[in-house]
Structure formats: C-alpha cells, structure tokens
Chain A
Amino acid sequence: MGERKSGAQIVWESLLHEGVEVVFGLPGGAILPVYDALAKYEYPIHHVLVTHEQGAAHMADGYARATGRVGVCMATSGPGATNLITGLATANMDSSPVVAVTGQVSTALLGRDGFQEADIQGISLPVTKHNYLVTNIRELPDALVEAFYIARTGRPGPVLVDICKDVQQMDMEVEYPESVNLPGYNPTLTAAAPEAIARAARLINEAERPLIVAGRGVAIARAEAELRQLAEQANLPVVTSLLGIGTFPETHPLSIGMGGMHGEAFTNFALQECDVLVAIGARLDDRLTGAFSTFAAKAKIVHIDMDASEVGKNLTIDTPVVGDALLTLRELLSLVEFNEHPTWLAQIAEWKQDTDQRDVLAQETDELVPPFVMRQLWHATHEGDCTVVSDVGQHQMWEAQYFPHTKHRSLVTSGGLGTMGFALPAAIGVQMGLPTEEVWVVAGDGGFQMTMPELSTVVSERLPLRIAIINNGYLGMVRQWQDVFYDKRYSSTPLFNPNFVKIADAYGIPALAVNRKQDVEAAIRKAQAERGPFLIDFQVEPFANVFPMVAPGKSNADMIRRPLPAVVENATEL
C-alpha cells in the first residue's frame, strides 16, 4: 500500500505524475484545500494566478496548442467553474487537450443549492470530451489519471474533474494507478484500412484537378512533413483551413493559402473547381465550405480523419479514410505518383494573377490599413519566425491573409468557437510553454478588452509578450456584416475605447500608439527590443473591410471580391 494522502494532495501528486509544470487558476472556497496543499508542490509545479477563470482556461488551451502537452486550469465551484466554460468550449471545438480541475461543494450539500453550487458536470457536458464529478475519494486517483489520458489521446479535447470539498479534505492510502480501465474508449492510433487508402491513392493518381485541404488534425498528428511529402510527390496544390495554417509552408509554390469565407479568390476558385479533394484532419465546417450543397461540387472527396463522426457529418464523402493522419499518410505516400497537372496548375496561376492585381498592398494609399501592419510584422519577425496568437474578427482574417506562416504551429487562434478575448490569455499560455519564443498577440480593440485584465498576469509572470491592438474603434467584423447585409445600420458596433497606452502604463507595460504607415516598422522594432512586454495601439483606418467575402450560406464561388485598382473609382462591388 502507498502513503496516506489527502484528496488535495492526490490532485497535485497526479499532476506531478503527468509531468505538469504549470497550472493556471484562481482559488475560492470549494477548492481551498487543494490550494492549501499547493505549497508543498510549488517548485515542481508553477501556479499562475489569473484575474478571471476564463483566462485560465484559454491559457491552458494556448499552452496545450503551443506545446502539444496537456494544459491544466483550476477554479472553485459555482461562478469559478462556470467562468471556465467559454474556454473549455473553445478548446473542445479546436481539439485542444485541457484538464480543468474544479472544486465542488461538500457531498452533504450537493443538490441543496448551497452557496456557490453549480452543476458544472451538467453544464460542461456538451463542451467537454468527458467529465467527472468525484464524490468519493476512492474514485479520485482513477478520475485524474483517466482525465489526462482522455484529454491527450485520440482526438484531443478538454476534460473536467469536479471534486467535492470534503473529498479534497479526506485522506486515504493511495497507489498511483498504473493503467486506465475504460472499456468504451480505445484511442489506439492506426492507419486507415488499406482498401480505403488504396482507393484514395487511385483517385489522387487519376485526378486532373486535385487539391488538398489541410486542417489542424495534421498538426495534432504531427504529420506536417508527410503532408509536404504528399503534396510534392503527387504535385498537389494545398489549401488550408484557418486552423490548418502552419501545417504547410505558405511560401511553398504548391501552397495556395487559406480557403473559405475570407479565403483568397484563387483559393476558393480552386476549391470549387477541383475534381478530387483530399481533406486531411479538417472538419470541413461551414466557414470553409460555404453552402454545403455547392462545395467542391465537381469533386470526389477523400476525407482522412481519425474521428469517424467527422467523416460525412457535413458533406457526402466518396472515400472515407478513417485513421491517424500520420500513419495513414505514410501508407498513402507509397502509392501516389507524380503528375504534372499542367492545365490545372496553369489555371490556378491565372486566377492568382487576378487575385494579385487586387492585393490591398498593391494599392497606393497613405492610410494605415491592417494588412500593411500584418505584412510589416511578418518582415520584422524574419518572415514569420515567431508565434502569432490572434483574436477573433477582421484582424484575425487579415492576419491569415497577409502573414504567410511557414513555421509549424506558429498561429494560435480560436477557429471553431470564434471566441473573442481568446488572444491575450492564450498567448500567456503559449509564452509559458515556449519561454524563448517571440510571441505576438494580434487582437482587435473589441476582443482585447474582453480579457484585458489579464495584463496583470503578463506583468506578474514577467512575460515578454508583444501585443498589437488593431484598433479601428468598432466591433469590426460585426460592423462589416452591417455594411454588407444590414444597409450600414451600425447597431451597437461603435466602441468607446480607453486610451490603451495609458491602460498599459497603469500596468507598468511600455506602450506606443501608431497611426501612420511610416511609424509601423519602428514601433515593431521597439517592441522586439524590449525584454519585457510591450503594447502597440495601431490606430488603423476605421472602415476597412476584409475581402474577399463569401456571404453565409452562399457558394464559395459567389465572393464579394476586392476591387481591381483600375476600376476603384466607379466600383459597384466592394
């Protein structure tokens, strides 16, 4: 038998066993025994005190995305736990391995609506991969081991462990469980069935207009090298989803960028016109596909995904290939041949020429437009040798369009849930996981203010985060929809912003406001030269919108394009 340990100690011991180095959290009544026991474990495990539990969940998520290890967050019962929900839902949508440990009222009070009681198991059920309510200390060691196991294996995701306060206080003789007993969960990674892979290879080899769509599943499987090999070996152009950015170098001749609602026109034309589409680790959600019925309508679709429920969820799939991306691609590589696809590649190049002509950066203007900031940032970081953590909205799309990512996992962003306020706390997690990395927060003025108080966490942890606020004084993407679909009625989108430089100053963070093109580069250089955090308030042209744009529910072929420079003055379409 092992030593006698309290439930609170068992929590920390389990974290130690899992190799956890950092926990993001905020204490409260129902988790106090765990926090009281922290003192003994503080050196191996570093606790980051956050200002709001939502921040803790995003930090754990950001940490997990940057490192591939499980991120851990902690909160008390009731409001502490419910504040985690947005962060857990964000991690769930983007398949990020997170374990949340929450305190719960004592078992004697369960179900009596005691102070700070909330049914967090019930509340978190649809936004977690799995969850536990621990009412008996005998169940605690297994629940924790299983939580980490479930979070990091198979298709990763968040797992919540809710622990009653009296369970934290009890003690028992404990042996750390060596294995898990989960008869309904078998996450063994395997390649897809050989027949499915052979069928996929045949389709690829016979295709005249083939195309790959790579998603975050490629990054989760660490299959970036195999993806590149597949593209080069069979000469296949590669589109990525937003979360697939970074899985394939965007400066590669076969890269044709991000597709979907704000994909470049030539990218979307390629999606619509291809005859074989190979989706790898991508959910094929509506932001990528546009109207499901019109998406890649001429194509036979090969869908490689380890989650069988994703295959055929949104689209009719000709060749389901259910298996781990890495192992499956390795098998596929031995079967695919090089083909010139001369007509197809020439067609894409022709579309690209047209797109290039409409490039915002090719137009002469003195206005400080966000794409200019993104491209400057790219140049200043040795062409993207940094990790960008973007928030949600227009700036996120401009970042995706104008910052070509070449490094794996160098973009961290909330794709599926589209959570404004994600960037700053997620970047804290990224920087904690990658202490020597240059990490840039790119956030809009609206989203930044949602989690702005985490600036105190940046300062208390002495993190050298570089923060770029793309400040247009509006909830920009919402305003853009009002421009396009609501006859410019700006209902509740103009923002009353604080002076961000003064805000930063109040936290002791040096900051600059920039509103002219010629000052952008110097400001970025200044931020890079700082040893600690630095904030730049980019006061950009307020009415710039993101194009191309596919209206929701429309076909990807029906884009609102950027104007051609020659016809700008009498452009009828934006």
Chain B
Amino acid sequence: MTHTVIAWMEDKPGVLNRVAGLFRRRNFNIESLAVGHSETPGISRMTFVVDGDERQLRQVQTQLAKLINVTAVQDVTSEPTIVRELALVKVNANSTNRAEILQLVDIYRAGIVDVAMDSLVIQITGPEERVNSLLSLLETFGIKEMVRTGRVAMVRGNGRNGNGKK
C-alpha cells in the first residue's frame, strides 16, 4: 500500500543526499519525492510517497527520524489531507484540434501556459487521479514532453503537521 510521509529537515548542504542515500541503502520503494521550503526559515519540507507494508513504513519513518538533520517525520496517510500535484504537459496541437484540447483543459480547470504553431503547454494542478485522467485524454493528441512535481500534502484544519521535535 502507498503511504504519504512528510519529513521536516534542516536546510543544509547534503541533506537531500542523506535522505536519498537512506532510501537507496535500505531498499525502500519510493514513488515520488517533493521538496521545498516550509513556513519555518531554515527548515525544508519533503513529501514522500512510499510503497510498502507496515514493517517497511515503520522503517522508513524511524530510519528517517534517525538522520541528525531530520527534525520531524509524520505519516499522514490516514489523516484528512489535501494532496496536490502539478504537471506541465506539452502536447501536439494544430489548428484542427486546438479547440478540442482547450475544451478539455477547461473541463479539468487546467491552464494553457504556452502556445506554439504545433504545440501547447498545459499546466494542471490537482490530486494525482485528476492529473492522470487529463493525461490519458491528452495522449490521443500525442504528448511531446511532460514533467510532474510529485505529491505534496497538508493535513486539513487544526490537525497541523508536527514541525517540532522528533
């Protein structure tokens, strides 16, 4: 089963390498990883999507927490969470099918961020399933290029994610 795990860590050189090295060495199966600043200066926030059984998930959390630069780890899978992903997709488009594509973009509340004679770049933000769904429709036009950020997550309401001590 896949889990969404959030880790907070000191923003220091090599920290990403420590995390990546840990995942490699312990043979954890990681589906996506997104990293950026948190609300606290000097603390980065990473969202992982990890596939594994209960033992592996516990290992991911306890091993991550052992890293000296990691300040907190939380598995938010069972919490009410907002989960989002962003994708940029460059699709083949010409005068005959451009309108059809625009319609799809509209339905998915996505946006056009670049237009060329023979292509469009579409930006979509949403839960993974919505991104996947639009992508499968766009495949019929021919996807030239694509990039996805991986999942980021935040617990709803007052169920604030722990950014404190381990």
Q: Tell me, rounded to whole Å, the shortest Cβ–Cβ distance linking A521 to chain B.
A: 48
B69 at the interface (CB under 8 A from A): yes
| CB 8 Å contact bits of A125-137 with B (1 = contact, 0 = none) | 1100110010000
B14 at the interface (CB under 8 A from A): yes
A508 at the interface (CB under 8 A from B): no
Q: Tell me, rounded to whole Å, the shortest Cβ–Cβ distance linking A246 to chain B.
A: 27
A2 at the interface (CB under 8 A from B): no
Contact A308 B62 (CB under 8 A): yes
Contact B67 A184 (CB under 8 A): yes
B10 contacts which chain A residues (CB < 8 A)? 183-184
Query: Given that A122-B17, A184-B166 are known contacts, is A309 also in contact with B71, CB under 8 Å in the complex?
Result: no
A186 contacts which chain B residues (CB < 8 A)? 165-166
Query: Given that A126-B21, A126-B25 are known contacts, is A184 also in contact with B63, CB under 8 Å in the complex?
Result: no
| CB 8 Å contact bits of B47-86 with A (1 = contact, 0 = none) | 0000000010011001101111111100000000000000
Contact B68 A313 (CB under 8 A): no
Contact B71 A183 (CB under 8 A): yes
B68 contacts which chain A residues (CB < 8 A)? 129-130, 150, 182, 184-185
B9 at the interface (CB under 8 A from A): yes
| CB 8 Å contact bits of B142-166 with A (1 = contact, 0 = none) | 0000000000000000000000011
Q: How far is A125 from B166 in the complex, measured between Cα atoms in Å?
A: 21
| CB 8 Å contact bits of A307-326 with B (1 = contact, 0 = none) | 11100110010000000000
B98 at the interface (CB under 8 A from A): no
B3 at the interface (CB under 8 A from A): no
Q: How far is A150 from B68 in the complex, measured between Cα atoms in Å?
A: 9
Query: Given that A184-B9, A186-B165 are known contacts, is A309 also in contact with B21, CB under 8 Å in the complex?
Result: no
Query: Given that A183-B71, A186-B165 are known contacts, is A125 also in contact with B66, CB under 8 Å in the complex?
Result: no
Interface residues in A, total, Cβ within 8 A: 19
Q: How far is A129 from B22 in the complex, measured between Cα atoms in Å?
A: 12
Partner of B70, one of A122, A133, A184, A313: A184
Q: Tell me, rounded to whole Å, the shortest Cβ–Cβ distance linking B12 to chain A.
A: 10
B63 contacts which chain A residues (CB < 8 A)? 309
| CB 8 Å contact bits of B24-55 with A (1 = contact, 0 = none) | 01000000000000000000000000000001
Q: How far is A129 from B25 in the complex, measured between Cα atoms in Å?
A: 14
Q: Which residue of A lies closest to B25 (CB)?
A: A126
Query: Given that A125-B18, A130-B68, A184-B69 are known contacts, is A309 also in contact with B62, CB under 8 Å in the complex?
Result: yes
A493 at the interface (CB under 8 A from B): no
Q: How far is A308 from B59 in the complex, measured between Cα atoms in Å?
A: 9
Contact B55 A312 (CB under 8 A): yes
Q: How far is A121 from B18 in the complex, measured between Cα atoms in Å?
A: 10
Contact B165 A183 (CB under 8 A): yes
B69 contacts which chain A residues (CB < 8 A)? 184
Partner of A309, one of B14, B66, B70: B66
Contact A313 B59 (CB under 8 A): yes
A307 contacts which chain B residues (CB < 8 A)? 62, 66
Contact A312 B58 (CB under 8 A): yes
Interface centre among A130, A133, A150 (most CB of B within 10 A): A130
Query: Given that A125-B17, A125-B21, A312-B55 are known contacts, is A184 also in contact with B71, CB under 8 Å in the complex?
Result: yes
Task: Give the contacts of A291-317 with B (CB-CB under 8 A).
Answer: 307-309, 312-313, 316
Q: Which residue of B lies closest to A311 (CB)?
A: B62
Contact A309 B25 (CB under 8 A): no
Q: Which residue of A lies closest to B64 (CB)?
A: A309
B166 contacts which chain A residues (CB < 8 A)? 184, 186
Q: Tell me, rounded to whole Å, the shortest Cβ–Cβ distance linking B98 to chain A.
A: 47
Interface centre among B55, B63, B68, B71 (most CB of A within 10 A): B68
| CB 8 Å contact bits of A181-210 with B (1 = contact, 0 = none) | 011111000000000000000000000000
Interface centre among B21, B66, B71 (most CB of A within 10 A): B66
Contact B65 A308 (CB under 8 A): yes
Q: Tell me, rounded to whole Å, the shortest Cβ–Cβ distance linking A397 to chain B.
A: 28
A125 contacts which chain B residues (CB < 8 A)? 17-18, 21
B9 contacts which chain A residues (CB < 8 A)? 184
Q: Tell me, rounded to whole Å, the shortest Cβ–Cβ distance linking A88 to chain B.
A: 15
Q: How far is A130 from B66 in the complex, measured between Cα atoms in Å?
A: 10
Q: Tell me, rounded to whole Å, the shortest Cβ–Cβ distance linking A104 to chain B.
A: 14
Q: How far is A555 from B63 in the complex, measured between Cα atoms in Å?
A: 28
| CB 8 Å contact bits of A167-189 with B (1 = contact, 0 = none) | 00000000000000011111000
Q: How far is A312 from B69 in the complex, measured between Cα atoms in Å?
A: 23
Q: Tell me, rounded to whole Å, the shortest Cβ–Cβ distance linking A549 to chain B.
A: 28
A126 contacts which chain B residues (CB < 8 A)? 21, 25
Q: Which residue of B lies closest to A129 (CB)?
A: B68
B25 contacts which chain A residues (CB < 8 A)? 126
B14 contacts which chain A residues (CB < 8 A)? 121, 133
Q: Residues on A close to B: CB < 8 A?
A: 121-122, 125-126, 129-130, 133, 150, 182-186, 307-309, 312-313, 316
Give 15 CB contacts A-B under 8 Å.
Answer: A125-B17, A126-B25, A129-B68, A130-B68, A133-B14, A183-B71, A184-B67, A185-B68, A186-B166, A307-B62, A308-B62, A308-B65, A309-B59, A309-B66, A312-B55
Query: 4 smallest A-B Cβ distances: which pairs?
Result: A309-B62, A184-B71, A130-B68, A308-B62
Q: Residues on B close to A: CB < 8 A?
A: 9-10, 13-14, 17-18, 21, 25, 55, 58-59, 62-63, 65-72, 165-166
Beyond the given pairs A183-B165, A309-B63, A312-B58, 6 more chain A to chain B contacts, judged by CB atoms under 8 angstroms and listed by A's residue number, are A125-B17, A129-B68, A184-B9, A184-B10, A309-B62, A313-B59
